[in-house]
Chains A and B, each alone.
Chain A
Amino acid sequence: MIGDIIGFIGGLAVTLKSTWREPVTAEYPESDKRLNLEERYMGFPALTWDGDVEEPYCTGCMVCIRECPTQCMTAEMKDNPLYPEESRRRKIVDTFEINLGRCIICGICVDVCSFDAIEMSHEHELSKYERNGNRVDLQSLISMGRSYQQKVGWEPKNPGKNRGTPQVEENSQSAINDAEVTDSRSGEPMEGDECPDL
């Protein structure tokens, strides 16, 4: 009996201790009380923008579309009008759509991209009233990506290969053609990754 009362008092002491403590909860909608996002936070995917040549990094090579576990993306590529004078990219993305309502934010598209063209942005508050309200097109994906790039000071992971500015001294065309057909991790041509004709 005495032991039971001691256990009860022990519990009360714990609650009593927290009575004078600052609250640890943050009241969400208020702008100064939101949780800080970590640097690696994965929000919805967005397309990056190459400010040097004013075009997206994405060439529309479709590797993210094939690897997406939920098939939430579609894309088309076109000939790059800026090639070869202003840009090294022979092909460029024409249309790109992601159904963000279907995206599971797994980050596989970012892993497989050989062009640093897609990144997990910090965008996450995208509630909409329509069922398909979160089908986003190329323009909004790029604007999501640009605000993310500005926020974190984004730099391409492989600038030598993926920057669009033409480099006179290097054999830049062959570099970008090679990148289309090789796997970023192993460097070997992938059997399953047939590349669209360039």
Chain B
Amino acid sequence: MQIHETENETDGSIDLMINMGPQHPSTHGVFRLVIWVDGERIIKSEPHIGYLHRGSEKICESEHYSQIVTLFDRMDYVGNLNSELAFCLATEKIMDVCVPERAEYIRVILCELNRVASHMLFYGVYGLDAGAMTPILYAFREREKIQNLFESVTGARMMHNYIRIGGVKENLPRDFQQRLHEVLEHLKRGIEECDALISKNEMFLARTKGVGAISGADAIDFGVTGPALRASGVVEDIRVTDPYSIYDRFDFNIPVGTYGDCWDRFYVRVEEMRESVKIIEQAARDLPEGDISAAVRRIVRPPKGEVFVRTESPRGDLAVFLVSDGTDTPYRVKVRAPSFANLQALEQMLQGAYLADAVLILGSIDLIMGEVDR
């Protein structure tokens, strides 16, 4: 940490400027946060982003549609399948492709598993942020099961390139249902264990309750979406309010917090894991037989036009704005990344908090820097 001193103009005391990052272990990537403190209280903060900027949106303009899916894998690298889905939905919408039923169900099952894996990672890392070493070991044990299942389906543990324009890459392996059942049984026990481990722990509650609170109205004004918004008591989940794919067929609840503090943001995600398991069970029960991909040519040339598609990624409202000029590469791809929008509320959350809580507040937004910088 670099430390600078400046004189406070109002009372003549000395304010410290503290540079947190870009290589700080608790910033979940390369992210720099400049904090001004008066004593132990944060009076001002300023996020600096761009250290992981790879120009993904610009690269999209020179790649074929089928190649862009690999770039979307690398934007949100914890919820890969959800990012892939957002781009494929946008392309399918502009081409007016009807995706086969079975492919839709496979997508939902894998995306929800990915959501659980992502929230599991958040759970473990948030334990570390709060100073607890145990949760991450439990979280990784559960996440490993999900990733093994992904490996058996997609061939990769993280960068799948499995969801394709018009469907999915290949059919599920023969023993998928049985393995999925085992993973779900394991997950249900695991989620309860994880919940019992720290959610009601007195020290954890003391660190997170009432810290970094943001009201629902403020959160909406900042453009916060996903679990961070629902923690503030706003019922907004695109899977329910603006359903895409086949999410309108499943019966699940939207977990909502009350105060919008760090504990609410943490617990909304724990609850969401339970709801995701419910969705997976329903989808696995109804999984139909049939085609896994629509007849789409390898080099896709969508008609001229533009589409805007919103999906609910593990971190919030992941939207893709796609402009096609009729050639085999898109004219423009704009990604509305949930992490980037959620980051904007950080300054408000940090205002007046203790310096020691800065890491906890930052962690509770669940930032993925690959998505913020793109």
Contacts and interface: CB of A to CB of B under 8 A. Distances in A.
B200 A7 contact: yes
Given A4-B202, A15-B197, A40-B151, A183 B297 contact: yes
B173 A39 contact: yes
9 contacts: A4-B205, A6-B200, A7-B200, A8-B201, A11-B196, A14-B138, A15-B197, A37-B151, A108-B70
Contact of A120 (B70, B155, B205): B155
A95 B71 CA distance: 29
Given A7-B201, A15-B197, A39-B173, A185 B141 contact: no
A196 to B, nearest CB: 18
Nearest to B71: A69
Contacts of B197: 10-11, 14-15
A42 B299 contact: no
Contact of A108 (B161, B198, B199): B161
For the residues of A in contact with B, the DSSP-based class is loop
Given A14-B196, A69-B63, A106-B70, A188 B297 contact: yes
A13 B144 CA distance: 23
Given A7-B201, A14-B197, A186-B297, A67 B64 contact: yes
A166 interface: no
5 tightest Cβ-Cβ pairs between the two chains A and B: A7-B200, A42-B155, A4-B202, A69-B67, A40-B155
A195 interface: no
A112 interface: yes
A198 interface: no
A190 to B, nearest CB: 6
Interface string A82-125: 00000000000000000000001111100110000000100000
B159 A5 contact: no
A10 B196 contact: yes
B328 interface: yes
Given A11-B197, A24-B141, A69-B70, A40 B153 contact: yes
Contact of A38 (B152, B169, B193): B152
Interface in A2-36: 3-8, 10-11, 13-15, 24, 35
A104 B63 CA distance: 15
Contacts of A106: 67, 70, 159, 161
A190 B299 contact: yes
B132 to A, nearest CB: 9
B148 interface: yes
Contact of B159 (A24, A104, A183): A104
B202 A5 contact: yes
Interface string B167-199: 001100100000000000000000001001111
A112 B298 contact: yes
A188 B297 CA distance: 9
A67 B67 contact: yes
Given A24-B141, A40-B154, A186-B298, A105 B159 contact: yes
B298 A107 contact: no
Contacts of A39: 152, 173
Contacts of A7: 199-202, 205
A46 B154 CA distance: 18
A184 B299 CA distance: 12
Interface string B134-162: 10001001001000100111111001010
Contacts of B148: 35, 38
A5 to B, nearest CB: 7
B295 interface: yes
A14 B70 CA distance: 40
B258 interface: no
A192 interface: yes
Contacts of A37: 151
Nearest to B162: A107
Contacts of B202: 4-5, 7-8
Contact of A41 (B138, B155, B196, B200): B155
Nearest to B68: A69
Nearest to A120: B155
A7 to B, nearest CB: 3
B165 to A, nearest CB: 12
Contacts of A104: 70, 159
